[in-house]
Chain A
Amino acid sequence: MGLLTPLKNMFSDNSKIIKGSDASAVQAWMIERLAKQLKKDVTDIDPARPFEEYGLDSMFAVQVTAELEKVVEMRLSPALLFENTCIDDVAKVISNSAAENEQQEVDHEPS
């Protein structure tokens, strides 16, 4: 079994997941990610402060959106961080979208 473990790991993704509908969890992840990027403490990040005031560039916005997609397991617009100016707005959009997706899945079932 020991020999097979590395092979097994190649086919097993263990990345962290949070629920898109949980706005506060999305907010916490975003705060942590921004703090990491800016090399600051999480307490220094204000979720209501516009991204541009932190001096974040478009490359970072695209990169974070791609990472966030995998964390919330949802497809996100590549323009998410351009169309929503702060962490609070992003978390709100994602939780609304997650709720909508759940509703659509219910609606799509034949009855």
Chain B
Amino acid sequence: MSQANIPIYADDNYKQLVSRIEDLKDERLGKAIPKELYKKNTFKSLVGFFASYALYLGSIVAIAFSPHWTVTIVCLIAAGLGAWGLHCIAHDCGHGSLSNNRSLNMIVGHLSLIPLLYPFHAWRHVHNMHHGATNNLEMDTDWRPISKDIYNRMAFWDRTEYLFNRSIGFWAGTLQYWWKSGFRPSFFPQKKARNEVRRSILFVVIVGVIIFSTLGYYTGIKGILLYFILPLLSTHIWFSVVTLMHHTAEDLPFLEKENWSLNGSRILLTTDYLYPKWILWFTHNITIHAAHHVSPTIPYFNLPKAQEALKEAYPGMIREKKFSFKILWGIVTKCHFYDPQTGYYLSAKEAKKADGTTQTQSV
């Protein structure tokens, strides 16, 4: 293993991780997962789709009849869970694991992303970029940290947006992701992808106009807010929390390209989170995530078994944790900047202190 790009203060865990990533470079990880787990079952997948839509729409109806604001909040969280579950179904559609029929994947994918007004093909393509560069410091599209040095050279608005999304505004991080990747065909290198994205945007614009004008006509601004915008924001909280926690942790680094390998990233740079069973069911096992990165075509209902197979074949390599707000708190208060010296993270406070030290030294 080349030591040339190992951060100077990298600890033993970091070095061991990079060494393991190098060792796995040519490993065919997917082979460890039994073939039958790749088998699609459209009916089973569609049960998830209808259950999530029922939860989403049912919660919105409940909001309309809510007797008290506290009930409304619970209904909003449930609506968010429903629409987040739908996103997880769209996720399967994007990887082609809902059905062998491409058109069906596309139709269900578009329908599932209506509560988020997310153009399906844009999401699909940007998500594939994430799979191709998970925790690659230069190329990942999801929650990629930057160093304080780069941050200092950014425009004021970009700095504000970056730090807000990684700290107090973490719950809105995917809103920025949606806006930046969802409506910009030029984001994608492939011509075919750009054309698909344009068609998805057209679909979202038409559906959006129908939703807003219908809700506006019958329920006014309050209705638009209560029955669409707030559930959308609630969905983004789920979306942000889950995706942030998948690949960001105080002890889980983003790597320089010289230390990174696609195969290694698939299994070693992800944290699987155990939620209560009913949440796992409604989120369609999205947090059983390393197995998904190893083989994205595995349908969601087979991910627990695929995870077990991987654990057996690669003992000690799957990072599995029980979800806790403490872990989330640790991430949003400490993982602000990439630290080139340790390879891990610096909090905004630590980075500011380091800036001061550098300035003092240079005087």
Contact = CB atoms under 8 A, between A and B. Distances in A.
Interface of A: 10-15, 17, 69-70, 72-79, 104, 107-108, 110-111
B190 interface: yes
**Which secondary structure characterizes the binding site on chain B?**
helix
Contacts of A12: 195
A13 B138 contact: no
B199 interface: yes
B115 interface: no
B272 to A, nearest CB: 20
16 contacts: A10-B198, A12-B195, A13-B185, A14-B191, A70-B186, A70-B191, A72-B189, A73-B190, A74-B189, A75-B139, A76-B189, A77-B139, A78-B138, A111-B28, A111-B30, A111-B31
Contacts of A110: 30-31, 33, 35, 38, 295, 297
A15 B191 contact: yes
A69 B195 contact: no
A104 B262 contact: yes
A11 B192 CA distance: 10
Contacts, number: 47
B202 A11 contact: yes
B259 to A, nearest CB: 15
Nearest to A68: B189
Contacts of A74: 189
B15 interface: no
A75 B132 contact: yes
A77 B262 contact: no
Given A69-B189, A77-B257, A110-B33, 10 more contacts: A10-B198, A13-B185, A70-B186, A72-B189, A75-B189, A107-B28, A110-B31, A110-B38, A110-B295, A111-B31
**Which secondary structure characterizes the binding site on chain A?**
loop
Contacts of A15: 191
Interface in B241-259: 257
Interface string B19-44: 00000000010110101001000000
Nearest to B31: A111
B194 interface: yes
A75 B185 CA distance: 14
Nearest to B193: A73
Nearest to A101: B132
B317 interface: no
A73 B189 contact: yes
B135 to A, nearest CB: 15
A28 B233 CA distance: 48
Contacts of A10: 198
B139 A73 contact: no
A13 to B, nearest CB: 5
B4 to A, nearest CB: 14
Contacts of A70: 186, 189, 191
B94 to A, nearest CB: 15
B129 interface: yes
